[in-house]
Chains A and B, each alone.
Chain A
Amino acid sequence: MDVVVDNVSQVWAGRHGTSVVALDHFSHRFRSRRFTCLLGPSGCGKSTLIQIVGGLEQATSGSIRIVDPERPGAGRPLGVDSVMMWQNLNLFPWRSVIDNVAFGLEMAGVRRAERYDKARALIASVGLRGFELHLPGQLSGGMRQRVALARALIMERPILLMDEPFAALDAQTKIVMQEELLRIFDATRKTVLFVTHAIEEAILLGDEVVVMTARPGRIKEIIAVDLPRPRSLEMVNSPQFGALFDRVFHLIREEVMKTMEQQAAAASA
């Protein structure tokens, strides 16, 4: 499934009748079965964008189409082909691991035995066998990430939207989860939209890095990452990786500086 974003703007109403432009005429075609990272400073509207793609926020203007490249005529409604993995995970604290993972199937009316079978298989595949009946609050941060990942994957939707899912993890756990995600991507080849503000993560995971400007969020530059797959963490040390990192780093640095100037101006005003 391609995600065709056409001229999408998002304007939030601020206090005292002011308004904040989060996204400014954003257009991009996210290609099927490709891993695209959205990279930008805080507040550039990248989280907003994937929520709009997921049908969870309404854009102020512009349109989004989900297009099957094999049947380019028929557009599909937003939300039915995608599933989100959230920055703060949004696991249901009163539900056990298995009931969290099976939530989507339960909502769809799938019988208990059937949805538990599927959920058990997925829980095992993310390495949480034996924790089916634990509550999210009894798990470590990394384990909760796996639950959230399994809960998204069980939906078997072709588009995976990820909103800085690993931002809150410690460095070691983050590495493990990145490897896990690379493995899953190689196995399933979903269309992934991955929001992050970590340059290294964007290059390591993505086929393409969309670098965004500070508020208002526009596309600053699109960097193709031609590192071979399957990827591994050792690639971080390759000269090719280093060159990409430098390029992205300078783009991002400009934007961060701009944000800081904006904030300084706003503070002194």
Chain B
Amino acid sequence: MPSTTHRIARFAETVLPTASVVLFLVGWETFVRLGEIAPIYLPAPSSIAVYLVRMVADGSMIINLGITLLRIVVGFLLASVFGVLLGVLMGMSRILARVADIWIAALYPLPKISLIPLLIIWLGTGEAYKILISAVTAFFPVVISTYAGIQRADRGLIKAAKDLGANARQIQFKVVIPSAVPSIFAGLQLGMGVTIILVVAAEMIGGSSEGGMGYLLINAGQVMETEKVFASLIVLAVMGAVIIKLQQWADRKLAPWASLEHGR
């Protein structure tokens, strides 16, 4: 029979997370109203909500969110394709691995955001620069994880495949690459995280009028429309969470075995 303390614990576990958010918002609202804080510094949640609804209704939020999402998708796809490809090729060719390793060791620790001035000089502040900076940044975790996954391929599985008559090419494509999939997915998740960061940062620094969530944020900030800043931040946070959850869901759908224990 579950004890009373146990039931209270269960109740607290399900209710407290939501309650904490509600309590936080109520506290914030009360603080702003009673303290008569100027909305420029800290707008009340209720007025942020009004702005959010207004921005969705007039389409500005939807359009800018769409532009940002498009850039994220393109940047991420570029990084994924080239990162996975190079990682796999490095796993197949020792010479290539040695050569690529030097470049990765030199470029990986460099904060990619420091390349922004150079890229703006070369490419201007258009789409090419925003997509390239995010793709280059995401490329590194993808290629490193892919190569690590290929290298860590289970020797036992390779031997078993050989015993069952697989040739070198079959071992590569039917054993080594599939066994690297969990590691590749981990790299893609890291890559997605930095793509989101770099796209929004590039939109803020580009300063042109080509839209995007970063542009929306910086513009609202410059004219001190703090409600719009908060509304944009909320949308960005939700967008990030949804993308990451979607990716995790897709990973589980594509490779359900990766999350099973005792796979062999």
Contacts and interface: CB of A to CB of B under 8 A. Distances in A.
22 contacts: A56-B159, A83-B163, A86-B156, A88-B264, A90-B159, A90-B160, A91-B263, A92-B160, A92-B161, A93-B257, A94-B178, A94-B179, A103-B161, A107-B161, A107-B166, A107-B170, A107-B174, A135-B257, A135-B260, A136-B264, A137-B257, A137-B263
Interface residues of B, number: 27
Contacts of B163: 54, 56, 79, 83-84
B262 interface: yes
Contacts of B165: 104, 107-108, 155
A90 B256 CA distance: 18
B178 A92 contact: yes
Interface in A137-164: 137-138, 144, 151, 155
A107 B161 CA distance: 9
Given A94-B255, A107-B164, A107-B165, A137 B261 contact: yes
**B170, B178, B256, B257, most chain A CB atoms within 10 A:** B257
B181 interface: yes
B20 interface: no
Interface in B115-151: none
Interface string B161-173: 1111111001000
Contacts of B257: 93-94, 135-137
A251 interface: no
Nearest to B160: A90
A239 B77 CA distance: 71
Given A135-B257, A137-B262, 5 more contacts: A86-B156, A93-B263, A107-B166, A137-B263, A155-B165
A89 interface: yes
Interface residues of A, number: 26
Given A94-B181, A136-B263, A137-B263, A86 B160 contact: yes
B175 interface: yes
B157 interface: yes
Interface in A98-134: 103-104, 106-108
Given A90-B159, A94-B178, A135 B263 contact: yes
Contacts of A103: 161, 164, 166, 174
A56 B154 CA distance: 15
A103 B157 CA distance: 12
Given A83-B163, A84-B163, A90 B264 contact: yes
Nearest to B259: A137
A240 B57 CA distance: 90
B256 A83 contact: no
A107 B263 contact: no
A138 B166 CA distance: 25
A89 B264 contact: yes
B164 A104 contact: yes
B260 A92 contact: no
Nearest to B156: A90
Contacts of B260: 93, 135-138
B147 to A, nearest CB: 19
A193 to B, nearest CB: 14
A90 B167 contact: no
Interface string B235-264: 000000000000000000001111011111
Contacts of A144: 264
A148 to B, nearest CB: 9
Nearest to A155: B164
Contacts of A94: 178-179, 181, 255, 257-258, 263
Contacts of B178: 92, 94
A103 B165 CA distance: 9
A83 B263 contact: no
Contacts of B170: 107
A135 B164 contact: no
| Interface hub of B160, B161, B257, B258 (most chain A Cβ within 10 A) | B160
A227 B164 CA distance: 33
Given A107-B174, A137-B257, A93 B264 contact: yes
A88 B156 contact: yes
Given A56-B159, A93-B257, A107 B264 contact: no
B179 to A, nearest CB: 8
